Structures are given as C-alpha cells and as structure tokens.
Amino acid sequence: MREQGHKRSRRTLRTVAVVSALLLGGGGTAVVAGHAVAGFGPGDGGERGDRREGERGDARQVARTIDCPDVGMALREVPESAKRPVGRELAALDAQLAHAYERLNSPRWKTRSVLAGLEREREQTIGRIASGIERAGGVARDLERMSRCGVQRDEAAEPVSDGARMEPWEGADKPGGPVPADFVDIRTVRPSGPPPRPGDEASTGTFTTECGTNEEEHLNSDNVIANPGVANGAHHVHDYVGNLATDAFSDDEELAGADTTCENGDRSSHYWPVLRQLDGRRDDRGTRDGGAGGHLDGNLGTILRPAEVDLTFRGSSVSEVTAMPRFLRIITGDAKAFTNGTQNANASWSCTGYEDRQLTDKYPICPDGSRVVRTFAFQSCWDGENTDSANHRTHVAFAEDDGGCPDGFRAIPQLVQRILYDVPPGAAFAVDSFPEQLHKPVTDHSDFINVMDEDLMRKVVACVNGGRDCG
C-alpha cells in the first residue's frame, strides 16, 4: 500500500500557533507543564532509534510514551482457524503496553525495569502468535524480533514561550495528552488547492446513505475487525451508526440479520473513536468491566454525540467503479500513528466553513458558530479477491497520484464519512485512543464493514458510474 502524502516531520510538533484570540484565560503554560513527567535520570536506559528519549543524564521535563513494533501490521498470513486466537494475543499485547505505559509514568518504576518486563511479556505473547499461525498452516516470519520496545518523547509537550494560551482542562495535571500545541486556529491554516479535474472516463456520481447520529447510543470498546472475539480489544470507545449488532463477537451471519439505523435498509457497520470534551468527567458509556475502554484506559471526559453524520460513496477520477464484495472490511487511518509513524495515517480535521483547510496532526480551533469536522476518505481500490487481510490493510489500497489503482487492484465506490460536532466554545476535546498514543489527532481512524445486499450495491455502482447524485 502506498504511503500517505501528508507526512509531517516530528519537529513540526514543536510549533504552537498563537491562538489567544480564540482560547480562554491564561494557564496554557501550566497545562503543558502539568503533562510533563520526569525525563530519564542518570543511568536510566531505553533508547531505541532517533525518535526515542534515552540519553544518559537527560533531565529535561518531557512527556513520554512507549513505542513498540506493531505486530498486527507485520502479519501477512493468518489462516481462518487462527484469526480469533491471534486476535486475542494481539489484544494481550495492547493490554501489556497499556500497563507498561502506566508504570512508565509512575515514580515507583525505573524505565529500564518497565521496558525489560514488557519485553519478556511480549516475547511470550509473540511466540504464541507465531505458533498459532504455523499450527494452522500459515507462515509467521521475523515476529520474534518485534518484542523490544523503546521510549518516545512527546515534543509537543515541551514548554513553549510564544504566548499560546488555552483554558486548563480537568485532568491536565496527568500525563497522557493532548496538550495546547496539539490545537491550532483553523483560520491560520493555508487553504489547499483545488482537486484535480476528473478525466473523461471518470465516474462522477455520488450515493448518500442516511444512518443517523447514533441516537441509540450504540457504543463499545471492541473492534470486531482487528480483534474479533475480544471484549475491550480497542481500549477506547467506538461510536457506531448503521448495523446495530456490531461488537467484538459479531460474525457475518449475525451482521446480515441485524437491525440497522440506515433509512435505506443498509446493514453496513460504520464506527470510529468517540470524541470527548476534556471536562474531567467519567463518562463510562460503552465501556467494559466498569471502565475498561473508558477511564481505566485513560479516556476521560464527556462523550460528544455527533451533530451530523454524512456517509457518501463517490467514484474514481479516471474510471468506472465495480461493486464492493459483501462483508468487505476496511480500516482507514492508524490508531497507533503517533508511535508507528504516518505511513498509514489518514486523519483529516477541519471546521465548517473552512473545509478547504484540512489538518492531519492538529485539532482545529473553530470560530464561534462553526462546527468541528472529522473526515475519513477510505481506500478506493480493492484486490478483487479478499474481503480482509492479515493486517487488515493489504487487500485494499488508495488510488495513485494519477487517480488510477495500483497494479492488481480495481476501483470500488469510495466511502467518505463526514462527522460534525458542536464543541462548546473554548473547550478542549480529543479522540479516545490507546493510552500510550496520548490522544493525538493523527491517531484518528475509522472502520467499515460492507453489509449491503447485492441489489443495493448495484444501485450504488449504477448511480456513481452514471454520474447521478442519489440517496
């Protein structure tokens, strides 16, 4: 899969826009300092690569997190019979990392001890993953080298002196992000250029489906695509529209027979991390075991329900599209992009009235009367064979720069999810995330399972290829 074209140097995280005209009160510096935890002391190891903190004697006050190789992304073959056992072990890796992150930010633990203990746990779990794949007839290569982790610093949390101010939010005295440098006034962002003109063979129609804004409060901290059969596999709460049966234990048969919130009977499942106002409140809706996925995983604040959700399928700029297979699964964006890097990131943040200005690694500060907008433009090319892949990535791809699909892929209707929120003026907000990802905006992601029946999918394709706007 090609890399995204919006990579950002980690040095840019140092930049903080001067947004005092929009942010309330003083105390911005206090918020930054509140997120800081002690850096490495003398003799405390843990360096791994140039993005890690770990130089001896470095006593700077920086927020830190743990960076581990993403085993799930490295998988290339997981036989059907091994999918659920492997999903459980991948979830165990996430739980181990969350526990280690908590220890990293405790004065009772040395960084060296935290990393050593985590490595031992990961070695055993990764060994079970490899054995499970091989017993089922698959091949697991080079997984054993992925047990070692390092420590990464949050450069955005370093003290700043350019006058930026943000109203302090509840819980800001604890590490975990976000920090004021993660926000930017949308009016200071340079507009992007117009999109390329479609070619003569383009499919220019659209198909819109209305599925509500999750009035039913269908929320859980599962991820049936990445961690099937694992309760709280996501460690953060997901917001759902469409299929009302979707949770960790849903299979294709259950999804096909479920009720839906979509007006046209579409049983597809759409889900993304909830957005929270950072008011320090415990909002445990959708959590497991009295808070897992919520406050027990570092996700605090009132869940904001979307004010509007737009779900649109659009065509290719160079060709007609073909039908998606039923039960096609697509993940767009990367929930671990803060530590993984941005090769799979696909976050887009903006404000109504300013959507020609898209942010990938900052949250927008919107003017009064403007709504926060999250946009997910999904992969629009399919390999023509598989409804999923071992790492949930390689069976789909983004179009190339010329609009065409990579070799071996065919164009399918591109799903675009546009989600709007009424965020109170001056209020800080953030997406739910894995604890060690520090609620960074670049980690935003969304998931889709196509459960349209054949007749409805034919209507979508005909509409898109026919240049009509339907819904």
DSSP line for 176-206 = S---GGGEEEGGGSPPPPPPPPP-TT----E
The tokens describing 268, both together, are 């597809």
In a 13 Å sphere around the CA of 331, the CA atoms on its Cβ side amount to 24
Alpha-carbon separation of residue 178 from 302, 361, 424, 431, 439 (angstroms): 15, 11, 17, 9, 6
pLDDT at 44: 36
pLDDT at 36: 25
67 close to 339: Cβ distance less than 8 angstroms = yes
pLDDT at 167: 57
Ranges assigned E (strand) in 146-187: 150-154, 183-185
Which H helix or E strand runs over 83? Answer: helix 83-104
Ranges assigned E (strand) in 5-82: 63-67
pLDDT at 34: 26
132 close to 89: Cβ distance less than 8 angstroms = yes
Reference 19, options 162, 217, 192; nearest CA is 162
156 close to 62: Cβ distance less than 8 angstroms = no
187 close to 367: Cβ distance less than 8 angstroms = yes
Structure pTM? 0.85
290 DSSP 8-state letter: T
Reference 366, options 276, 279, 427, 440; nearest CA is 427
Report the alpha-carbon distance of residue 444 to residue 311 in Å, rounded. 17
> How many CB atoms neighbour CB 142 within 10 A?
8
Tokens 């340079």, located at residue: 190
pLDDT digits (tens, 9 = 90+) for 170-219: 555 456 778 899 999 999 999 998 888 889 999 999 999 999 999 999 99
pLDDT at 388: 97
Report the alpha-carbon distance of residue 180 to residue 172 in Å, rounded. 10
37 DSSP 8-state letter: B
> How many CB atoms neighbour CB 49 within 10 A?
9
Query: Rg of the chain's alpha carbons, rounded to an integer?
Result: 22
Report the alpha-carbon distance of residue 100 to residue 412 in Å, rounded. 41
pLDDT digits (tens, 9 = 90+) for 442-454: 999 999 999 999 9
pLDDT at 126: 98
The tokens describing 110, both together, are 């040395």
List, in order, residues 6 or more apart from 378 with CB less than 8 Å away.
Answer: 330, 332, 396, 414, 415, 416, 417, 446, 448
Report the alpha-carbon distance of residue 100 to residue 152 in Å, rounded. 13
Q: Which residues of the chain have pLDDT under 70?
A: 1-62, 158-175
Reference 121, options 154, 141, 99; nearest CA is 99
92 close to 52: Cβ distance less than 8 angstroms = no
Report the alpha-carbon distance of residue 443 to residue 361 in Å, rounded. 8
pLDDT at 168: 56
375 DSSP 8-state letter: E
pLDDT at 4: 38
Report the alpha-carbon distance of residue 216 to residue 139 in Å, rounded. 42
Residue 279: phi, psi to the nearest 5?
-105, 5
297 DSSP 8-state letter: G
pLDDT at 38: 23
Report the alpha-carbon distance of residue 370 to residue 22 in Å, rounded. 13
Report the alpha-carbon distance of residue 321 to residue 382 in Å, rounded. 10
Interhelix angle 83-104/111-135, rounded to 10 degrees, is 180
